[in-house]
Structures are given as C-alpha cells and as structure tokens.
Amino acid sequence: MNGFLDGFSVGLLLIAGFGYAIYALAPKSLRARLSTGAAVLVGRLPVPGARSLAGRLAASGRTGAACGGCATCGSNAAQDPPRAAADGRSGMRDEVVGVTEVRVPLSKIRRRR
C-alpha cells in the first residue's frame, strides 16, 4: 500500500508540473481560457475560501491589460491607435497617439569598425 501511495503522489506531482509547464508556455489567449475555466471549477467547490480564489483566478483570466489584470492601465489606447498621416510616410517620423517612431534610412546606417 505504501508503494502505491508513493507512486500515486509522484504521478500526481508530475501531472501538476506538466500542467504548469503548458500553462506557463502557452499563448495568452489559452492562459486566459484556462484561468477562466479554473475559476469556474473552483467557484463550484463547497470550501469557504473558494469564492475569493475563484474571483482572483477570473481576474487573472481577463485579457485586455498589459499585465492581464484590471484593464485600466491604458490598454484601450494601444489597441487601435489612429495615425497622424494617412499613408504612414510623413517624413522621418510617424506620429501615433502618444508614441513617436523614428525611421532611419538604410543608406545612413554604416558598419562599425
């Protein structure tokens, strides 16, 4: 019986480690879906602290902010910024709301010696 429990606990830890590796390396959209699904499952548990944990998991599953959190850190301005020039070729600079991109012609770039 002791060997069975040892094997079961090692297998459970391997599965948990594999799941965490998939979660950590997954794209943000998949991480958001996994967090939302985990929040739903944890919210159904009859444990006293399950609702607060489910709320935190649901908050981490929201995409829309740079950090994946509350969506109040200016992510709305970064989604589809209007351009200053219609064709995008306004000289050496292309003005985007709040962001300045400097373009250097290829002929100006030289090799270092």
Q: What pLDDT digit, counting tens, does each position of 16-57 carry?
A: 999 889 888 888 888 888 888 888 888 898 888 888 888 888
77 and 98 Cβ atoms separated by less than 8 Å: yes
**Terminal-residue alpha carbon distance, the chain:** 71
pTM, full prediction: 0.45
- Phi/psi-derived region of residue 94, left when phi > 0, alpha when psi is between -120 and 50, beta in every other case: beta
H/E stretch holding 81: none
**How is the chain split into domains, by residue range?**
74-108
Using the structure block, give the residue that is written with the tokens 């830890």.
Answer: 13
Sign of CA dihedral 55, 61, 63, 67: positive
